Every structure is written in structure tokens, then in C-alpha cells.
Amino acid sequence: MQPGFKSSPKAHIVRIVLTLVAVMIAGTFIRQAMLPDEFGKLGHYRPGAVEDEANRQARIMSSESCFECHPLIKKIHVDGVHKTVLCEVCHGAYADHVKDDVVFATMPVVRGQDIKPMCVKCHNKIIQAMPPESIKLVAFPEHLEEKKVRTHHICDQCHHVHAPLKWVHEAREMMGLPPERERS
Amino acid sequence: MTRLRSEIDLDRRGFIKKVLSGAIGGSLLLVLPQGSALIAQQLAGVGDEKEPYLNGKKFAFVVDITNCIGCGTCCVADKNEYQVPDGHFRTWVERYLIDDQDNVYVDSPNGGLDGFLTGRDDIPNPLRDTFFVPKLCNMCEKSSCVQVCPVGATFRSPDGFVLIDEKRCVGCSYCVQACPYSVRFINPVKKTAEKCTWCYHRVRKGMQPACVDACPTQARIFGDLNDKQSEVYKLLHEPQVISVLKPDMGNEPSLHYLGLRREVT
């Protein structure tokens, strides 16, 4: 120890306390700087996040939006048994078709052999767990054999995809047969 | 001559009138938006911008298992709405097959996104009970995910929706582990947690969630429990076989299942 320098016996405690206070003050300032504005106003989160989520653009619009420009399809679709099937499920999201009220891309239309899996998704008798009373279920190729058509026929050769019983009804009417029982 | 002159004048006045009204009408047509998206007012009393949050409303979701045909339409709509990366699901459909020995077989090929195209031929015993269970966020009143988030990125909004703040989320996946219903995943592109929000942005605009809109058999029902005219209020206040998933976890979900079997977890 140097002569003339006399350390206080509590110097180490003072040093620790001063360091801790400095760390706490610095910590408070850093936390203030790092936290977003208004954090904790409503809870332990950023209130702006609610608005961020609410401002997300809806990409799926209702079928009504589609029918505005497609009145002929609407006429067929809403009269058929597929009236509860949303346009955008088969054709893709509205937002991929119209932007700022201007059509900028055409929507995919499923044609040919690709149609069958779309129909079979809902109407396949083989799928266990499907409540049989809710929709018409058919088995393949039994349904085609029963209707006396070739087994490679695609569904839309007999059924209009928007109104599956439209042509069936029309054909039966033409032949003077009673209408088939319809499911709603 | 004067008679003719006045007739011409009259005609000219009529002509100018017609041209003017035509011009005004035409320019109005140009100004008015055409072919705009009809935001259908599907939820009663929601969508007026006067209130910042949906105060005074208590939303509930009911899934009617007895109506679900497992077509996967809800999953397709959900994937389209949020452009969910392949292999991850904000909502999915499970197929439950229970045989007469009480063995339970559950599968969900690609989350039910492509529907269920084939049956199961690996089950030796005859089946006793078969049904589909659509899964989505349970919007728990006491959510585990909110409790474990270390950065306040998951929270329960003032109107009762459990949401994620993408800007705060650090992708630690504590919430993914904490959720008893496994509805959360880490988005591989954004590297943040993601889950079903019951389409909060649509509900705020007065629209139904995308999956509810898309369901062809009305197996998904969404509405306000404080509105006594709503379908969910009627369903939850009538004698029904109705339950929530894992009630013993104490999370108090707002998602209810109609016709739920005890085998479903």
C-alpha cells in the first residue's frame, strides 16, 4: 500500500452498489429503446400487431363477387345442387384473378381427366367415414356400368360440373321420364 | 318560318340536354368501380369502422362432425387465403376409423388437402364408427401459447382472438411445443410462428372465415355468442352432443365440436 492513501473499509461495497445502479439505469434505457412504441398498453404485446393482422388482404371472396362478372355461370350454378360449392375452391383465389377491380390473370379451368379426382373427393363411396346420407355417393366403375356407359367416361360427359343434374333432368324430361329424386 | 325556327331551337335545347346528361352519366360510370369485390355482410353487426376492436362480441366456432364429408374444401380455401407453404397446415382434416375391438385408426394424407381418395384396407376388423374431424386453432381462453411466449409476440387481442405478431416473433418455437392441439408451426419462409387466426382480418371486415365460407355442407359454423339470433348461440344453448378437445388441459377452448366422440384427441 502506498503511503498516505487510506482506503475506506466499505469501499468494495460502495463499488458494487454503484456498478449495479449503473447497470440498472443502462438496462432501463436499453429496454426503452428496444421495445416498440406503446408496448404493454393493452397487454404484454404490441397493440399495432392487432391492426397489422386486421389489415391483411382477404384473398378469398364470396361467390357473389365472381357472379358479378359471370352472370351466366351464376344462373346455372345457383340453381344446381352444387350451389353450396364456392367458385374459388376449384378455380383459385379471387386475388389471383382481379386486382384493384381489374382482371389481370385468367383462372384455371379443370378439364378432361383432371375433373374426375375433383368429383371423387366428395362423391366416392370407397372413402370410409363419409356420412352417406349427406351427399350422393357413387362407386367406380360400378356407377358407370349401372348407367350403361363406357368405364373410361369422365364425369362431365353426363354431369354439368356447376349443376350436376341439369342435363340429367333435361334428358329425362325429353324422354318423358319422371324426374330423379334430388338431394339438397 | 318562325314556328319552324322555334322547333329547331327546342330540338337544339333537347339535344344539348341529352349530350350533357350522357357525358355526365358516362363520366360517372368511369368513376364508379365496376366488377369490384362484393364484401358480403355475412356477420351481423360487424364491419362498421367506428370501433377499433370487436368489442362486446364473444366469437365461437362450432365444427359439426356429423356433417363433415372430408372433402378438404376448407383446407384448399385456407391454403389459398394465406398461401401456406406446402407441408404445413393452418387447418387440416383427420379421418377416424374405429373398429369393433375399439382400435382407433387416424390418418390425414396431406392434411386432407386433396381429400381422401382411397379407403383403408389395412384394418382387419369390421368398422364400428367412422367420421372426419377438421382441426384448427382452438382460441383458448387460457392459452398456453400466450403464456410461454418470451417476447410478447403471441397474445390474446381485446376481442378474444389469439394472434401472432410476425414482427416480434423470434421463431423460438416455445409456443409450437406448448400448444396442446398442435395447431402451430414455424413458417419455413418467414421463420416465424404461424397458426389459424379464425380469419381475424375477414371477421373485422364483417366476413365469415374462409373455411366457413367454403364448406359445402355447413359443417363449420362461426358466430357471436352474445348475439342470441346467431346459429352458434342456438347450437350451444340446446341439448346437443357437444364438447371441446382435451377439456382436462384446462385451456378452455372457444372451438366446440358437435357430435364429438371420446376417442378424438
Among B162, B200, B173, CA closest to B82: B200
Would you call B155 an interface residue with chain A, using a CB distance cutoff of 8 Å? yes
| Predicted pLDDT at B26 | 64
Would you call A61 an interface residue with chain B, using a CB distance cutoff of 8 Å? yes
* pTM for this model (two decimals): 0.82
Query: With 0-12 CB in 10 A as exposed, 13-18 as middle and 19+ as buried, what is B99?
Result: middle
CA B34 to chain centre: 27
| Predicted pLDDT at B143 | 95
Query: Residue A177 above 50 pLDDT?
Result: yes
In this predicted model, what pLDDT tens digit does every residue of B16-75 receive, in sequence order? 777 777 777 666 655 554 445 556 667 766 765 556 677 788 999 999 999 999 999 999
Task: Return the DSSP state at B157.
Answer: -
Would you call B163 an interface residue with chain A, using a CB distance cutoff of 8 Å? yes
Task: Return the DSSP state at B42.
Answer: -
CB B62 within 8 A of CB A127: no
Would you call A42 an interface residue with chain B, using a CB distance cutoff of 8 Å? yes
Q: A81 to chain B nearest CA, in Å? A: 10
In this predicted model, what pLDDT tens digit does every residue of B170-216 receive, in sequence order? 999 999 999 999 999 999 999 999 999 999 999 998 899 999 999 99
Q: A97 to chain B nearest CA, in Å? A: 11
Task: Return the DSSP state at A106.
Answer: P
Buried-state track B47-74, b at ≥16 Cβ within 10 A, e below 16? beeeeebbeebbbbbbbbbbbbbbbbbb
Looking at chain A from residue 110 to 139, which residues have their Cβ under 8 Å from any Cβ of chain B? 117, 120-122, 124, 126-131, 134-135
**Identity at B166, one-letter amino acid code:** E
Distance CA B209, CA B14 (A): 53
Quote the strand ranges of A3-126, DSSP E: 98-99, 102-103
The sheet carrying B104-107 orders its strands as: B104-107, B92-99, B127-135
Buried-state track A139-167, b at ≥16 Cβ within 10 A, e below 16? ebeebbeeeeeeeeeebbeebbbbbbbbe
CB B80 to CB A124 under 8 A? no
Residue of B nearest to A53 (CA): B201
Q: Is the dihedral of CA B191, B196, B200, B205 positive or negative?
A: positive
Contacts of B158 in chain A (CB under 8 A): 42, 50
Q: How confident is the model at residue A2 (pLDDT cuts 50, 70, 90)?
A: low
Q: What is the mean pLDDT of residues A6-35?
A: 92
* Structural domains of chain A, ranges and CATH numbers in brackets: 11-55 (no CATH), 59-109 (1.10.287), 110-178 (no CATH)
Distance CA A19, CA A7 (A): 18
Can you name the residues that pair with B129 across neighbouring β-strands?
B98
| Predicted pLDDT at B39 | 61
Q: B180 to chain A nearest CA, in Å? A: 22
Query: Residue A72 above 90 pLDDT?
Result: yes
Residue of A nearest to B204 (CA): A54
DSSP assignment string, B188-244: TTT-SEE---S-HHHHHTTPPPHHHHH-TT--EEEEETT-TTSHHHHHHTSS--EE-
DSSP 3-state assignment of A99? strand
| Predicted pLDDT at A184 | 45
Distance CA A20, CA A40 (A): 26
Residue from A44, A52, A101 whose CB has the most chain B CBs within 10 Å, to mutate? A44
Assembly ipTM: 0.83
Q: A181 to chain B nearest CA, in Å? A: 19
| Predicted pLDDT at B5 | 61
Q: What is the mean pLDDT of residues A86-115?
A: 90
